[in-house]
Structure 1
Amino acid sequence: MSIRAELFINGEYRQSSSSETLTIHSPHDDSLITDLVQVASPKDVDDAVSAAKAAFPSWRDTAGHKRARIMLKFADLLEQHIEMLAHLESIAMGQPISVAKKMILGPIAIWRYYAGFAGKLPGESYPPDEDGTYKIVQYEPLGVCSGICAWNGSHVLAAWKMAPAVAAGNTFVLKSSEKSPLSLAAYGDLLNAAGFPKGVINIITGAGAVGEMLAKHMDIRKIAFTGSAPAGRAVQIAATKSNMKRVTLELGGKSPALIFDDANIENAVFHSAEGFLRNSGQICFASSRVLVQEGIAQEFIRAVKSAFEDARTKMGDPSSGETLFGPLADKKQFERVMGFLADGRAEGVEVLVGGERIGDKGTYVQPTVLLNPGLDSKVYTDEIFGPVISVRTFRDEEEAIALANNTEYGLGSTIYTQDIGRALRVASKIEAGTVGINSAFGTSPQTPFGGFKQSGYGRESGIEGMKNYLQPKTIHVNMMVPPKKV
């Protein structure tokens, strides 16, 4: 299978104007995938933005049903090429092929969902009443928008950013992650085949320096970023210091799972183990702080230990359809996770199961359960972003809520109980943007996604995601002007 490694600007693939390239190694066995991934230079970024700016007036004025038809065709093409796209994602960042396919199905639904909004964005009107002014509110696209993707879910993040933007009539420049650029680089041919006019969507690659160029660019009106909290702060500062562009930030998480003593333990264990470990724990809203009520703690701990031991047997070559759990995305991420585990041991944190490297090649980490880390321990407070959970106990509902909210993050959470009254009561008190009840949280095209506190602000997905790419314009018409005398 050939690999696209070029930039996609103004409807064409092209080499970077600089000589800088990225090298991608397989997280499975360290083998070289490619060393030819093009890194966008300042000139390339300017060219991509200029192409989007030139395409904007025509795309904005394109009839909604025509925009929708193109978006639906693109969704069809994603579906038709799911094997190819999943393979490219898998070889770049180690996602098991079975997981990679599922993480393209969601974006296909997102593109179709937002296609349904194209041309159907109503405005508002208010009668003159006694003031004699007829009032109109219309919602207009922003112009050139941009998105920066994290590496753990390229297709989902790209769809959340691009689909509502182009449905609303904006044009777009997308930067893929330097860790997983291959599948999004393949979009260019599909975008052209779908019928997107040149310049409407441009896709570039590079590390943080390229993202900074986008955040600072004076012709970009909105930027959506998914990644770490420090990088998100840098994007916000650059956006503010440049042209005050709008910013949506989806940052880190250290999400709690609250398991009450009336919960279905088998269900809670499944979602805290296999549900958590999908994508090797590299999911920003996955519940890595597991809080269990004292009455069932021992039973739960025995069961989750067994589940994590069993998960080890399901790890392996991402290209195999039988593999459920793969390696971490790259050596840097592997070293980060192993560093957290080393620090935890140094602090005396008990490792119930796991905590070791698997094999001498690749970036495999054994699924790990930590018991009772201190409330100020880094393994408990910081986002590890790997196959590691921490288990602590609580006495009652009040303590559970206090422990759950004792974090600067607020992205995800889960609650396990058969008492729906308690579930909704606790959900209302959890300081997080998403709550799953009796299940690990799963995203939906219909509902907004985003966090509280230092997990960011703004929302992607759902109607809220669409609103982020529109600006209201108020028009007042004086109805009291007397007719001109003839």
Structure 2
Amino acid sequence: MSFETRLFINGEYVESSSGEYLTIRNPTDDTLVSDKIHAASEVDVDNAVAAAKAAFPKWRDTAGHKRAAIMLKFADLLEKNVDMLASLESRAMGQPISLAKRMILGPAALWRYYAGYAGKVSGESFPPDEDGTYKIVQYEPLGVCAGISAWNGTHVLSAWKIAPAMATGNTFILKSSEKSPLGVAAYGNLLNEAGFPPGVVNIIAGGGKVGALLAYHMQIAKIAFTGSAAAGRKVMEAAAKSNLKHVSLELGGKSPALIFDDADLENAVEHSSTSFLRNSGQICFAASRVLVQEGIAPKFIEAIKTAFEKAADKMGDPSLETTAFGPLADQAQFERVMGFLNDGKAAGLQYLTGGARKGDKGTFVLPTVILNPDVKAKVYTDEIFGPVISIKTFKDEAEAIELANNTTYGLGASLYTADVARALRVASKLEAGTVGINSAFATSPQTPFGGHKQSGIGRESGPEGLKEYLQPKTIHINMNVGKK
């Protein structure tokens, strides 16, 4: 299968001016996928910015229904090419092909959702009253925007960034993750086929230094970043030290799942195992801290042990439709997760399942359950980003909330109970930007996604995601001029 490896700038595929390349290996068996993925240089970044800046005035002034038609065509093309795009994602970072397809069809729906907003961003007006000033507030695009995507959900994260920017008349530069650049590299042909004018959307690849070039760039008006909290801080620092560009950050999580003694046990186990293990636990808002009320803890622990052992049997070659769970994204991610597990074992933590590598090749980590770690243990406090949960028990609602909120993160949470009043009461007290009740949290085009505390600032998806690419302008008109 051939695939695109070049940069997409100003409507054309171009080679990196530096001659630098990224290497991608298949995490299933460590075979070489490509060592010729073009990595952008500073010149390439400047060229992409210049193209986006030149394209901005015309795209901003393009009628909303015309922008919408192009966006809708792009959504159609995502669906038409879902098999090709999913295969590229699977080869690059081990995402099971069945999941990869869903994570492309979801973004197609998001592109359609935001296409509906094109040309419909309204302002406000206020009467003169006694001050004689007629007041207008209008909302305008920011200009050249940039996005830095994480590797665990490339197409979803790209859509969250590019689609609202397109609907509001901005132009865009997307940097893919160095772990998963193949899928979005294929966007260039689809963007052209959809009818996007040259320079409106540009796609580049590269490592952290390319992201830094975008974050520091003086001609970029806004940057949206998804990734680790440490890298997010660097993006914010770069924005502050350059032109004070707008910044939105979707960072890490260490989300809790609260399971009360009246919960549907089978449902709670399903969402704490199969739903959690989706993408091999490499989901930022996955509930990795499972808090169970004492009365049902023995039954839950036995059931989750069985569920995780069964999940291990469904782990395998991600290119097969029958595979539910694949490897971790690459060797570096594998070593990071195994480092947590090995350190935990050395510290005497109790592992109910897993805690080891599956097989003798690839980056597979067995689904792992850790029982009752200390609240200061790294496996409990730090984001592992792998198929690992820890289980602790609680006595009552107050203790559950205290344990849930005892983290520097605040991205997601879920809770399980048959008591609707308790569900809403507890949800309101959880320090998290997203909450799922009686299910693992799932994103929706209609609702915003983002976190509290050190899980980030700003929101993506929903109407709030649209606002991230707009700035208000206030106009006051003196209505007394010319009065006799």
Q: Give the shorter-chain TM-score range.
A: over 0.9
- Give yes or no for the alignment of 1:287 onto 2:287: yes
> What is the alpha-carbon distance in structure 2 between the residues aligned to residue 114 and residue 443 of structure 1?
15
Q: Name the structure 2 match of 1:305.
A: 305
* Alpha-carbon distance, 1:212 to partner: 0.2
* Alpha-carbon distance, 1:118 to partner: 0.3
- Please state whether the residue corresponding to 1:431 is helix, strand or coil: coil
- Please state whether the residue corresponding to 2:434 is helix, strand or coil: coil
> What is the alpha-carbon distance in structure 2 between the residues aligned to residue 365 and residue 478 of structure 1?
68
* Alpha-carbon distance, 1:105 to partner: 1.2
Cα deviations by residue, 1:214-242 (Å, 9 ceiling, x for unpaired): 00000000000000000000000000000
Give the residue type in structure 2 aligned to 1:202. Answer: N
Q: Name the structure 1 match of 2:192.
A: 192
Q: Name the structure 1 match of 2:10.
A: 10
- Please state whether the residue corresponding to 1:46 is helix, strand or coil: helix
Q: Name the structure 1 match of 2:96.
A: 96
Q: Name the structure 2 match of 1:334.
A: 334
> What is the alpha-carbon distance in structure 2 between the residues aligned to residue 433 and residue 315 of structure 1?
31
Instruction: Show structure 1 runs of 5+ residues with no match.
Output: none
Q: Name the structure 2 match of 1:49.
A: 49
Matches within 5 A, 1:223-372: 223-372=223-372
- Please state whether the residue corresponding to 1:106 is helix, strand or coil: helix
Cα deviations by residue, 1:401-422 (Å, 9 ceiling, x for unpaired): 0000000000000000010100
Give the residue type in structure 2 aligned to 1:119. Answer: G
> What is the alpha-carbon distance in structure 1 between the residues aligned to residue 286 and residue 273 of structure 2?
11
* Alpha-carbon distance, 1:483 to partner: 5.3
Give the residue type in structure 2 aligned to 1:247. Answer: V
> What is the alpha-carbon distance in structure 1 between the residues aligned to residue 241 and residue 381 of structure 2?
31
> What is the alpha-carbon distance in structure 2 between the residues aligned to residue 412 and residue 34 of structure 1?
36
Q: Name the structure 2 match of 1:180.
A: 180
Give the residue type in structure 2 aligned to 1:276. Answer: F
> What is the alpha-carbon distance in structure 2 between the residues aligned to residue 73 and residue 239 of structure 1?
34
TM-score relative to the length of structure 2: 1.00
Give the residue type in structure 1 aligned to 2:67. Answer: R
Give the residue type in structure 1 aligned to 2:448. Answer: P
> What is the alpha-carbon distance in structure 1 between the residues aligned to residue 105 and residue 427 of structure 2?
28
> What is the alpha-carbon distance in structure 1 between the residues aligned to residue 348 and residue 105 of structure 2?
43
> What is the alpha-carbon distance in structure 1 between the residues aligned to residue 60 and residue 337 of structure 2?
45
> What is the alpha-carbon distance in structure 1 between the residues aligned to residue 431 and residue 80 of structure 2?
40
- Please state whether the residue corresponding to 1:392 is helix, strand or coil: strand
Q: Name the structure 1 match of 2:40.
A: 40
TM-score relative to the length of structure 1: 0.99
- Please state whether the residue corresponding to 2:236 is helix, strand or coil: helix
> What is the alpha-carbon distance in structure 1 between the residues aligned to residue 375 and residue 90 of structure 2?
36
Matches within 5 A, 1:70-81: 70-81=70-81
> What is the alpha-carbon distance in structure 1 between the residues aligned to residue 317 and residue 55 of structure 2?
43
- Please state whether the residue corresponding to 1:258 is helix, strand or coil: strand
> What is the alpha-carbon distance in structure 2 between the residues aligned to residue 154 and residue 109 of structure 1?
15
Which 10-residue stretch deviates more, 69-78 or 342-351?
Answer: 342-351
- Please state whether the residue corresponding to 1:139 is helix, strand or coil: strand
- Give yes or no for the alignment of 1:156 onto 2:161: no
> What is the alpha-carbon distance in structure 1 between the residues aligned to residue 474 and residue 125 of structure 2?
10
Q: Identity over the aligned pairs, expressed in percent?
A: 74
> What is the alpha-carbon distance in structure 1 between the residues aligned to residue 5 and residue 153 of structure 2?
19
Q: Name the structure 1 match of 2:401.
A: 401
Cα deviations by residue, 1:233-270 (Å, 9 ceiling, x for unpaired): 00000000000000000000000000000000000000
The Cα RMSD (Å) is: 0.6
Q: Name the structure 1 match of 2:373.
A: 373
> What is the alpha-carbon distance in structure 2 between the residues aligned to residue 217 and residue 364 of structure 1?
39
Q: Name the structure 2 match of 1:213.
A: 213
Instruction: Show structure 2 runs of 5+ residues with no match.
Output: none
Q: How many residue pairs are counted as aligned between the two chains?
A: 484
Structure 1: which 4+ aligned runs deviate by more than 2 Å? none
> What is the alpha-carbon distance in structure 1 between the residues aligned to residue 347 and residue 427 of structure 2?
33
> What is the alpha-carbon distance in structure 2 between the residues aligned to residue 291 and residue 358 of structure 1?
27
- Please state whether the residue corresponding to 1:386 is helix, strand or coil: coil
* Alpha-carbon distance, 1:202 to partner: 0.1
Q: Name the structure 1 match of 2:136.
A: 136
Give the residue type in structure 2 aligned to 1:304. Answer: I
Give the residue type in structure 2 aligned to 1:257. Answer: A
* Alpha-carbon distance, 1:19 to partner: 1.5
* Alpha-carbon distance, 1:346 to partner: 1.3
> What is the alpha-carbon distance in structure 2 between the residues aligned to residue 46 and residue 70 of structure 1?
26
Q: Name the structure 2 match of 1:123.
A: 123
> What is the alpha-carbon distance in structure 2 between the residues aligned to residue 320 and residue 98 of structure 1?
8
> What is the alpha-carbon distance in structure 1 between the residues aligned to residue 482 and residue 209 of structure 2?
59
Cα deviations by residue, 1:316-370 (Å, 9 ceiling, x for unpaired): 0000000000000000000000000011111111000011101111100000000
